[in-house]
Amino acid sequence: MAFSESGGGPVGHAPAGGGASAATSIVDRADSAAVRDGVFTDRVIVRCRSAAAQSEVVTGTSERWAKLASEWRVEAVTPTFDPAPKNVALATELGMDRFLTIRVPAGTRVQELASELADQPELFDHVELDPCGEAHTPPVNDPLFVDQWHLRNTGQVISGVPGTPSADIKAVEAWQIVPPLSPVVVAIIDTGVSQSHPDFAGVLVPGRSFIGTDPNQIDDNTNISHGTYCAGIAGASWNNASGGTGLGPNVRIMPIKALSSIQVGSQSTCANGLTWAVDNGARIASMSIGWGSSSESGPLATAVAYAANNNVLLISSVGNSPGSPVGFPARWDKVIAVGGSGRDDEGWLGSTTGIEVDIVAPADNILTTCDDNAGGFNGYSRQSGTSMSAPMVAGVAALVLGVNPSISAQQVRSILLGTSDDLGAPGVDPIFGFGRLNAEQAVLAAIATLPCGADMNRDGQLTIDDIFVFLNLWFTQFPTADFDRDGQLNAVDIFDFLSAWFNGC
């Protein structure tokens, strides 16, 4: 028989009172007793050894499996990656099609179940529990303020303390030199994103929820709008004369709801959200979320591999636990691990540190969008935490890809790390990684990758329009017209530009 409904048999392994129905067991029950000791007690994740073994499990034709399923009151056996990844060949190569989620009543002793499943090597080559992670929630929710010091630090006084002028990510300088930008989709894998905030008008693209039963319910919650904080930092409407601003005028936000209303979620849910984002056009995935442990061959690691192999840039915050190890997914090599810096270009005291840290970005009192009863509905508040740092890196990455959409995710990673401002001990260190994010230098490096600098309007052709664009920029003393990148606008730039244009570079 197939195991899509609750089975009979002994109940000693499961909680008293009967299990939930198969329909409700598929819902991520992070708000219930499903979580205990840091893992979800209503599921175990397995990867079948082969397609044949998978068929035996799904159809219930394996006698040993049928006995186990009955003993443990298995409610359902479902594909872990649902919907299935679109890149079938890659998904098959990574074994994503062989992952199954074994659903059991909430409160089951899943550690024992996993142990018994691991003793069935003829059926399963991988068995793991599904840890419950928490969003890297800002530890302090301060009153509304009007200065976004991370974009331009003028020494603003925040909470009575001034910052250090120019200790910022050089966003304004980057905006002054960017050429026309292509739109870039950034997936915010979090608690959802406000659908009503005015600063997201024209910014949002279709997303999906993996929490609850409605995949279209991608709005943030009214408790703490963690995903809305992150989305605003990366892509709040730019230069619209209201509210704050995001990092990139070309950013398009894809809301992926993978965390519940209390900001927790499973690794398999996050894996599904990441895979869906990859399959639906995201070029960058920003994950301000983490777990203290994970498996190198589990669903989340496999989804990370799927995204990386599909040329998606992966970014994750390292967490807000000084003295603790960097968690997952930030800990993996395929993911840019983002720590926090402060208003004086020092390491933010609340940031997790470690040799896995790749780069840091401002994390202290960051003004951003909010839509909750804590900071105000469709409003703005200042937030602290590495959760704010990760989407900042994602926003600059979107600027880089907007300059040259043809470069790879690995090239973008190299640009971000290679152009960061080295802080602390010389070279890479466990507090700052390669250094503090520098948007201006990253954009300049992206411009240098363009095959033809004389194509000023980035339409792929050299026409008279490019000359008009360049001369207009030069006469208005706009930094983009610094064609030879020597920091000065003079006649040499005109000569170099025209020489490149006539030579058909």
Q: pLDDT tens digits, residue range 83-118?
A: 999 999 999 999 999 999 999 999 999 999 999 999
Whose CA is closest to 151, among 234, 242, 251? 234
Q: Which of 311, 317, 319, 210 is CA-nearest to residue 265? A: 210
Structural fold of domain 22-130: Alpha-Beta Plaits (3.30.70)
**How far apart (Å, rounded) are the C-alpha atoms in residues 393 and 313?**
11
**Region 148-177 average pLDDT:** 90
Q: Return the ∠ at Cα 31 (arms to 29 and 33), rounded to 5°.
A: 75
Tokens 């170099």 identify what position? 496
Average pLDDT over residues 480-495: 80
Distance CA 456, CA 466 (A): 5
Mean pLDDT computed over 414-443:
96
Q: Looking up tokens 């968690």, which residue turns up?
A: 327
CA–CA distance from 415 to each of 187, 336, 397, 401, 420 (Å)?
Answer: 20, 12, 9, 11, 8
Task: Tell me what the mean pLDDT of segment 29-54 comes to.
Answer: 82
- pLDDT more than 90, % of the chain: 66
The β-bridge partners of 289 are: 135
pLDDT above 60: residue 340: yes
**Is residue 26 scored above 70 in pLDDT?**
no
The owner of tokens 């530890």 is 139
Query: What does the pLDDT read at residue 261?
Result: 74
**What radius of gyration, in Å, describes the C-alpha atoms of the chain?**
25
Which of the pair, 39 or 392, is modelled with greater confidence? 392
Residue among 190, 199, 358, 371 flagged as catalytic: 190
Q: Long-range contacts: 158-167, Cβ < 8 Å, 24+? A: 158/343, 158/365, 158/382, 159/365, 161/343, 163/343, 163/344, 164/343, 164/344, 164/345, 167/342, 167/343, 167/344, 167/345
Mind listing the pLDDT tens digit for each residue in 197-227?
Answer: 999 999 999 999 999 899 999 999 888 899 9
pTM of the model: 0.84
Reduce the DSSP state of residue 94 to 3 states and report it.
Answer: helix
Q: What is the pLDDT of residues 344-401, one digit of tens each?
A: 999 999 999 999 999 999 999 999 999 999 888 999 999 999 999 999 999 999 999 9
Per-residue pLDDT tens for 46-92? Answer: 999 999 999 999 998 988 899 999 999 999 999 999 999 999 999 99
Q: Which residue ranges make up each domain of the chain?
A: 22-130, 141-155+164-403+412-419, 464-502
190 catalytic residue (yes or no): yes
Q: Which of 351, 387, 389, 420 is catalytic?
A: 387
Among the listed residues 13, 136, 197, 226, the single catalytic one is 226
Q: Give the pLDDT band of residue 238 (cuts 50, 70, 90).
A: confident
For residue 402 the two structure tokens come to 């907007």
Query: Can you give 179-244 as a three-state secondary structure string?
Result: CCCCCEEEEEEECCCCCCCHHHCCCECCCEECCCCCCCCCCCCCCCCHHHHHHHHHHCCCCCCCCC
CATH of 141-155+164-403+412-419 given 3.40.50.200, 3.40.50.10420, 3.40.50.20, 3.40.109.10 = 3.40.50.200
Query: Is the separation of the CB atoms in 209 and 478 below 8 Å?
Result: no
